[in-house]
Amino acid sequence: MDIGAFYAGFDQRVRDIVAYGYDRSPAFRRRMEAAGLTPDDIQTTADLARLPILRKEQLVEIHRQGPGLGGMLTVPLSALRRIFQSPGPIYDPEPDEPDSWRWAPAFRAAGFAPGDIVLNCFGYHLTPAGVMFEEGARAIGCTVIPAGIGNQAQQIDAMAHLGVTAYAGLPSYLKALLERATEQGHDPRSWTLNKAFVAAEPLPPSLRALFEEQYGILVYDGYGAAETGNLGYNGPERQGWHLPDDALVQICDLNTGAPLPPGQTGDVVVTLFRRDYILVRFAVGDLSALMEPGTPTIISTPRLVGWLGRSGDSVKVRGLFVHPRHVEEAIRTLQGVAAYQAVVVREHHRDDMICRIVPTADADATSLRQSAEQALYDALKIHCRVEIVLSLPEGAKPFVDERRWE
Q: What would the CATH number be for the domain defined by 3-78+242-308?
A: 3.40.50.12780
* pLDDT surpasses 80 at 314: no
Start-to-end CA span in the chain (Å): 31
Whole-number Cα distances in Å, 306 to 126, 132, 200, 357, 378: 27, 21, 12, 35, 31
- Topology agreement, domain 103-223 and domain 315-401: no
SS3 label, residue 120: strand
Q: What is the per-residue pLDDT for 81?
A: 97
* pLDDT surpasses 80 at 405: no
Q: What is the per-residue pLDDT for 404?
A: 78
State the pTM of this model: 0.83
Residue 268: phi and psi, rounded to 5, are -85, 115
* pLDDT surpasses 80 at 313: no
* pLDDT surpasses 70 at 341: yes
* pLDDT surpasses 90 at 203: yes
Q: Say if residue 147 is exposed, middle or buried (CB neighbours under 10 Å; 0-12, 13-18, 19+).
A: buried
Q: What is the per-residue pLDDT for 348?
A: 84
Q: Say if residue 172 is exposed, middle or buried (CB neighbours under 10 Å; 0-12, 13-18, 19+).
A: buried
Cis previous bond, 89, omega within 30: yes
Which range among 111-115, 204-208, 325-329 shows the weakest confidence by mean pLDDT?
A: 325-329
For residue 148, the number of C-alpha atoms closer than 13 Å in the C-beta half-sphere is 9
For residue 406, name the pLDDT band (cuts at 50, 70, 90). low
% pLDDT > 70, the chain: 99
Whole-number Cα distances in Å, 322 to 32, 224, 228, 337, 399: 31, 16, 18, 21, 10
Q: Which CATH superfamily is domain 103-223 in?
A: ANL, N-terminal domain (3.40.50.12780)
Whole-number Cα distances in Å, 225 to 31, 45, 121: 22, 22, 17
Q: When comparing pLDDT for 17 and 406, which is higher? A: 17
Which range among 37-41, 247-251, 291-295, 314-318 shows the weakest confidence by mean pLDDT?
A: 314-318
112-123 pLDDT, tens per residue?
Answer: 999 999 999 999
Q: What is the per-residue pLDDT for 22?
A: 98
Category of 269 on φ-ψ map: left (φ > 0), alpha (ψ -120 to 50) or beta: beta
Which range among 263-267, 311-315, 372-376, 381-385 shows the weakest confidence by mean pLDDT?
A: 311-315
Residues 116/134, Cβ–Cβ less than 8 Å: no
DSSP code, position 96: S
Tell me how far apart the alpha carbons of residues 365 and 61 are, in angstroms, rounded to a whole number. Answer: 37
Tell me how far apart the alpha carbons of residues 395 and 385 are, in angstroms, rounded to a whole number. Answer: 22
Q: What is the per-residue pLDDT for 256?
A: 87
Topology annotation, domain 315-401: GMP Synthetase; Chain A, domain 3 (3.30.300)
Residues 254/266, Cβ–Cβ less than 8 Å: yes
* pLDDT surpasses 80 at 363: yes
Domain locations in the chain? 3-78+242-308, 103-223, 315-401
Residue 286: phi and psi, rounded to 5, are -105, 160
- In 3D, which of 187, 191, 198 has the Cα closest to residue 107? 198
Tell me how far apart the alpha carbons of residues 130 and 123 are, in angstroms, rounded to a whole number. Answer: 5
